[in-house]
Amino acid sequence: MSRFGPDPQAFFEAVYRKPAPWDIGGPQPAMVKLLVEHPPEAPVLDVGCGTGDLAIHIAESGVKALGVDFVQEAIDKARAKARLLPPEIANLVDFRVTDVFDAESLNQSFGGIIDSGLLHLLDPDQSDAFIERLASLLRPGGRLYLHEFAVTFPIPNVPRAVVEEEIIERFASACGWRILTLRTEQFLSRFAPVAATVACVERV
């Protein structure tokens, strides 16, 4: 995550000491809509889960979910939310401090992987390794759900644009994917909504 200085972990740890800009008190509506259209099969992995709202939403729908993030503060907040859930829902969600690039940290396969705002933090060359890693974690027929900024702002320490053309190129059939949905939506924040690219792609 070199877009965020020489020590991206320290950058995001500092962000989570206060409410993060993308913490809107619930899951992103565009991602919720996508999950309704293309329901995931359990278990579901939420990469870059932050404070856990999306993984908890998935558990509330009756699907087992694992949320991972490399920021301890974010995971602590997610676990605190999970402790307030009814037991039947709390038993379906788990949170773990994990770098998704660490091949030893996740040794299971998933029916669905959710990325609401992680790919757009990576430079294009890092994105290649990230997508390969996600592909290795998905079962055949598993689905990857993406929700990323579609614009780049001319200031430091912000996400890059992930546009539809990039999704079409990265998730082509020749690469072992099938695009089920691709469109423009919004990514909400505590400041203002941002145009976003939303996609559901299937591993074939």
Give the chain's domains with CATH numbers: 2-203 (3.40.50.150)
Q: Compute the average pLDDT of residues 45-62.
A: 97
CA 115, distance to chain mean position in Å, is 2
Helix axes 29-37, 53-60, angle to 10 degrees: 30
Six-digit token string for 88: 């039947």
**pLDDT tens-digit map of 69-120:** 999 999 999 999 999 999 999 999 999 999 887 756 788 999 999 999 999 9
**pLDDT tens-digit map of 106-160:** 889 999 999 999 999 998 889 999 999 999 999 999 999 999 999 998 888 889 9
CA torsion through residues 118, 120, 122, 124, sign: positive
Q: Is the pLDDT of residue 1 over 60?
A: no
Whole-structure pTM over 0.85, yes or no? yes
Listed residue (87, 141, 143, 156) closest to 114, CA to CA: 143
Q: How far apart are the first and last CA of the chain?
A: 29
Q: Compute the average pLDDT of residues 182-195.
A: 96
